[in-house]
Amino acid sequence: MILNTACALVATTKRRVCSLLFISNYMAFYSLFFLLPLSSLLLFLLLRSRKRRTNLPPSPPRLPFIGNLHQLGPLLHQSLAALSRLHGPVMLLHLGHVPTLVVSSPNAACDVLRHQDLVCAGRPAITPAKILLDGDIAFAPYGDYWRQLRKICSVHLLSSKRVQSYRRAREEEVAAMAAAIAVRASTTINLSEIIYSFTNDVICRVVSGKFKIAEGRSRVFAELINENSELLVAVYLGDYFRWLGWVDGLLGYVTRVRKLRKRWEELLDQVIKEHADRASSNINGYDEKEEEKDFVDVLMSLQDKNEFVLDPANLKSLLIDVFGGGTDTSYITLEWAMVELVRNPLVMQKLQEEVRRIANRKSLVKEEDLHQMTYLLAVIKEVLRLHPPAPLILPRETLNDCIIQGYNIPKKTRILVNAWAIGRDPKQWDAPEEFRPERFLNGTVDFNGTDFRYIPFGSGRRVCPGLQFAIVSLELALANLVHQFDWELPDGMEKEEFHTREAPGIAAQREGQLHLVAKPWSDCLEE
Ligand code: HEM
């Protein structure tokens, strides 16, 4: 019995040993052929992601949750420039949950806007744009839909030929601006107001035709554009802290943006309906006179010919973009131009000499005179170097992982290119804070974004499509302002009080309104 039990025990132990041996063999086999490669793969991935994380650009120290938000001031481009001086021209910030790459040197801008242009061609989906501009071009995600809109803009709405076709509209609006100044000559005028009406009237006229002035419609557009600017630049907590989106609702921002969209819809529906009425009765012969077509005419006739079909809501978003993109930017530039010219009397004198010599005592400078005015162009370039109205261009977002200046930049990183800081970088420009148009006289630096020291219109595939339109309007307006009038500070104001401070916000607008006295130039004769 004892022997039997002993034998049974031995047999069981043997079986257990065998099965243990089998299991350990199996495990060895398993680990050799499966676990080992798997764990090495995991290790490799871990190391790679660590390397990636360790090869990120430098970042200022950050706080939990808010990240670097507390380091930003009301003048965003200026606070980013100050941080970049400490942490380098390629710097990674964490704005709440949003990783944000800030680029402040021409080389880094060239990486973003040329070498990695495709990967960096996305735009972040921010709350106000999603509500107000859904389906527009400026905030459209990069892809087929954006390409279609881009083609419409560059081939049909803002091509050289089309820009040329708005010549009469521009010249008439410039004449109206000069007349508005002339009636208040030798008194202190609010030039900001006058310039704003001019830029707004030009855009209104180009987009929605010549009927708007009589109806006072441009005033309504101006009101809406103003509110656009305010609501688009406000900070929406939900964009930086996913769990705080409801606060934006509570603060009323979201409701305000929705209401604004509704007002735009109503106004644009009216404009589109008028187009349809005009087209059906053909009172304007809109189909015959190509040069008279406004943007709505062009878009609708493209739709009619089935060349492209845009959802009505998206069509309105595209029009809102053009109003927003075209009005504030040109207004801000023209205002800064007058500020810098009054602060720099020698530059003003040189510009007036050029314009008056070429215009040859005509009462109005015409567009055919502009191509000879090289100093005028240099003045506008210098204004846009010191005061780019979109100092951080428009935010981009990476569509994939990429490398910028040797650093790994993960997918879905927001990118801010600080055109303002690059334009004032002492490593790139002599005496960068001084207003010296002469630096542009040799003509090698242009607006088109090929020289990354100078990118007021951005660069690459998302470069501003309104560039030509903007430049010719600015040239014509500025030439006429300095041709017809001599400009003085209001009584009692010293040159030193005439400041160049910027107002808070993301557009680099001058703080306060510009008040000046216009003295008609006596030699400027009626034709
Ligand atoms: C001084 C005048 C102007 C300046 C400084 C300016 C500047 C800019 C900048 C920096 C961008 C972003 C470019 C980028 O991401 O690389 C942009 C985009 C854009 N601008 Fe302008 N702009 C001006 C006038 C205009 C005008 C007159 C229009 C239309 C009539 C316009 C329409 C647009 C549109 C639609 C976009 C979006 C393009 C896209 O995302 O594909 N802009 N502009």
Count how many residues are written for the chain: 527
Question: How far is the centre of ligand 1, averaged over its atoms, from the C-alpha of 463 (Å)?
Answer: 7
Given the candidates 2.60.120.260, 3.40.50.800, 1.10.630.10, 1.10.760.10, the CATH classification of the domain at 69-520 is: 1.10.630.10
Give the pLDDT of residue 72: 94
415, 457, 468: residue to mutate for ligand 1 pocket, most atoms within 8 A of CB = 457
Question: How far is the centre of ligand 1, averaged over its atoms, from the C-alpha of 465 (Å)?
Answer: 6
SS (H, E, C) 66-118: CECHHHCCCCHHHHHHHHHHHHCCEEEEEECCEEEEEECCHHHHHHHHHHCCC
Atom of ligand 1 nearest to the CA of 203: 30
Residue nearest to atom 7 of ligand 1 (CA): 457
Instruction: Return the CA Rg of the chain.
Output: 30
Give the pLDDT of residue 2: 46
Residue by residue, DSSP assigns 256-294 as HHHHHHHHHHHHHHHHHHHHHHHHHHTTT-TTT-GGG--
464, 475, 506: residue to mutate for ligand 1 pocket, most atoms within 8 A of CB = 464
Q: Which residues are annotated as a binding site for heme?
A: 464
- Per-10-residue mean pLDDT of the chain, 527 residues long, equals 47 51 51 57 55 82 96 94 98 97 98 98 95 94 95 94 93 96 95 94 84 65 85 89 90 93 92 80 55 83 78 91 90 97 97 96 93 97 98 97 98 98 97 98 91 98 96 98 96 83 87 95 63
Question: How far is the centre of ligand 1, averaged over its atoms, from the C-alpha of 164 (Å)?
Answer: 18
Give the pLDDT of residue 31: 55
Question: How far is the centre of ligand 1, averaged over its atoms, from the C-alpha of 189 (Å)?
Answer: 30
Atom of ligand 1 nearest to the CA of 123: 40
Domain ranges of the chain: 1-54, 69-520
Atom of ligand 1 nearest to the CA of 419: 10
Give the pLDDT of residue 215: 61
Q: Which residues are annotated as a binding site?
A: 464
Ligand 1 pocket, Cβ-based, cut-off 6 angstroms: 137-138, 150, 153, 321-322, 325-326, 329-330, 333, 388-390, 393-394, 456-460, 462-466, 469-470
Tokens describing residue 172:
């008439």
Helices within 344-466 (DSSP H only): 345-359, 367-370, 374-386, 419-423
Atom of ligand 1 nearest to the CA of 470: 27
Question: How far is the centre of ligand 1, averaged over its atoms, from the C-alpha of 329 (Å)?
Answer: 8
SS (H, E, C) 316-327: HHHHHHHHHHHH
Give the pLDDT of residue 442: 87
Give the pLDDT of residue 6: 47
Atom of ligand 1 nearest to the CA of 140: 40
Give the pLDDT of residue 93: 98
SS (H, E, C) 208-241: HCCCHHHHCHHHHHHHHHHHHHHHHHCCCHHHHC
Residue nearest to atom 35 of ligand 1 (CA): 138
- Residue 143, class by beta-carbon neighbours within 10 Å (0-12 exposed, 13-18 middle, 19+ buried)? exposed
Question: How far is the centre of ligand 1, averaged over its atoms, from the C-alpha of 491 (Å)?
Answer: 38
Residue nearest to atom 18 of ligand 1 (CA): 464
Question: How far is the centre of ligand 1, averaged over its atoms, from the C-alpha of 287 (Å)?
Answer: 29
**Pairwise CA distance, residues 369 & 435, whole Å:** 25
Residue nearest to atom 31 of ligand 1 (CA): 466
Among 123, 112, 59, 115, smallest CA distance to 418 is for: 112
Question: How far is the centre of ligand 1, averaged over its atoms, from the C-alpha of 392 (Å)?
Answer: 12
Atom of ligand 1 nearest to the CA of 321: 35
Residues in Cβ contact with 181 at an 8 Å cutoff, skipping those fewer than 6 apart: 189, 191, 194, 481, 484, 485, 518
